Amino acid sequence: MIGIYLHIPFCAAICNYCNFNRGLFDGPLKTRYVQALVAEIRAAAEPGTAADTIFFGGGTPSLLEPGDVAALIRACRDAFAVTPDAEVTLEANPETVDEARLAGFRDAGITRLSYGVQSFRDEELTRLGRLHTADTARRALDAARAAGFDNVSLDLMMWLPGQSVDAWLSSVDALIACGPEHASLYLLEIYPNAPLRDEMARGGWSVAPDEDAAAMYLEAMARLDAAGYAQYEISNVARPGRQSRHNLKYWQDGAWAGFGCGAHSTRGDRRWRNVSGTGDYVARLERGETVRVDEAARPREERAGEAIFMGLRLTDGVDLRVLRDAYGLDVWNDYGTELAPFVEAGLLVHRPGERLALTRDGMLVANEIMMVFIGRSVR
């Protein structure tokens, strides 16, 4: 089963920390973009290939009209063997939806919503340049329920400029009170030229010290545990059976086909990405040209390294037997010496069934542990 990713690069405003492939909404360009996307999907048709997830990511996919979403899902169903119970996710910004639009998305075939809430504190949302307030986010969730959605995820961002541990935890408590089925907690990474850096300097805001970031993460996860959410990935928790099936494909060495500007695809030993500019993408498809660039083989060593790197993000960790069978990799034989100190420190553990996993403390230093596999090529 593959996953299908559709990139929608339009936003109503550009947030001051954002480094994604996106641009300001432009109605005529959006219309041409949707047509181009349908054309790209049709040209890649593989009726014999089953797909059990479709994910509209962005950008702000909820700026599409329900009719656009319906046309894109239809194109996916015509081109691939999309299973009847497929998980079909739409990323949405709270200020872009109301009950009628959400009902339209649901009729179009969306089964899951992922709201970019980021914070339940209005002063933090203003600092980030977001267009919604905490109340808008709550109303968006109510509207989703009224429209019949029973699978909703909320994103929060931690370690924001000027954010204290208590302020962060008040957002986590507010999220729990909303009762979504899934939540993602991301650490804000401020890239070098982000406008937010200038605003931080002007406003005299700084981020909390590293030890506070660790406390933010651990206490948030403890509160989510207590509220009945199970962590299944470094940044993700879910009610039972509500993990993101689409994102699991990235972490479980799966396969996916990406469509739209800048989208990546990984299919077994091949990988490619599309041109990233929205205008370039549309123009190429209108001329009947390919949008694929950087198509390359994935050597076995690279695939094995990625399977470990991504798999260790999961609380279940990686299955060492699968790595051995698929890639001929014996993790203990090849890396045992480097991994031993992490096991002794309680950061890395064996789980039943020959699985290797990070503990929650290990997740705090995941990059350091994963460097073991990146520092030298996987044999």
* Interface contacts to ligand SF4, rule CB under 6 A: 11, 14-15, 18, 20, 22, 58-60, 93, 116
Question: In the complex with ligand SF4, which residue's Cβ is closer, 11 or 34?
Answer: 11
Question: In the complex with ligand SF4, which residue's Cβ is closer, 55 or 335?
Answer: 55
In the complex, minimum distance from the CB of residue 366 to ligand SF4, in angstroms, rounded to a whole number = 23
In the complex, minimum distance from the CB of residue 250 to ligand SF4, in angstroms, rounded to a whole number = 18
The residue written with tokens 């999961």 in the block is: 314
Question: In the complex with ligand SF4, which residue's Cβ is closer, 64 or 307?
Answer: 64
How big is the chain, counted in residues?
A: 379
- Of the candidates 321, 377, 367, 313, which has an alpha carbon nearest to the alpha carbon of residue 342? 367
Question: In the complex with ligand SF4, which residue's Cβ is closer, 69 or 348?
Answer: 69
Question: In the complex with ligand SF4, which residue's Cβ is closer, 93 or 235?
Answer: 93
In the complex, minimum distance from the CB of residue 195 to ligand SF4, in angstroms, rounded to a whole number = 11
Question: In the complex with ligand SF4, which residue's Cβ is closer, 26 or 289?
Answer: 26
In the complex, minimum distance from the CB of residue 200 to ligand SF4, in angstroms, rounded to a whole number = 17
- How far is it, in rounded angstroms, from Cα 112 to Cα 118? 18
Contacts of 280 (CB under 8 A, 6+ apart): 261
In the complex, minimum distance from the CB of residue 93 to ligand SF4, in angstroms, rounded to a whole number = 6
In the complex, minimum distance from the CB of residue 17 to ligand SF4, in angstroms, rounded to a whole number = 7
Contacts of 147 (CB under 8 A, 6+ apart): 99, 102, 103, 105, 106
φ, ψ of residue 155 in degrees (nearest 5) = -100, 140
Question: In the complex with ligand SF4, which residue's Cβ is closer, 22 or 245?
Answer: 22
Question: In the complex with ligand SF4, which residue's Cβ is closer, 18 or 44?
Answer: 18
In the complex, minimum distance from the CB of residue 18 to ligand SF4, in angstroms, rounded to a whole number = 3
In the complex, minimum distance from the CB of residue 130 to ligand SF4, in angstroms, rounded to a whole number = 7
Question: In the complex with ligand SF4, which residue's Cβ is closer, 79 or 175?
Answer: 175
Question: In the complex with ligand SF4, which residue's Cβ is closer, 152 or 369?
Answer: 152
In the complex, minimum distance from the CB of residue 251 to ligand SF4, in angstroms, rounded to a whole number = 22
The two beta strands, 348-351 and 355-358, are: antiparallel
In the complex, minimum distance from the CB of residue 231 to ligand SF4, in angstroms, rounded to a whole number = 24
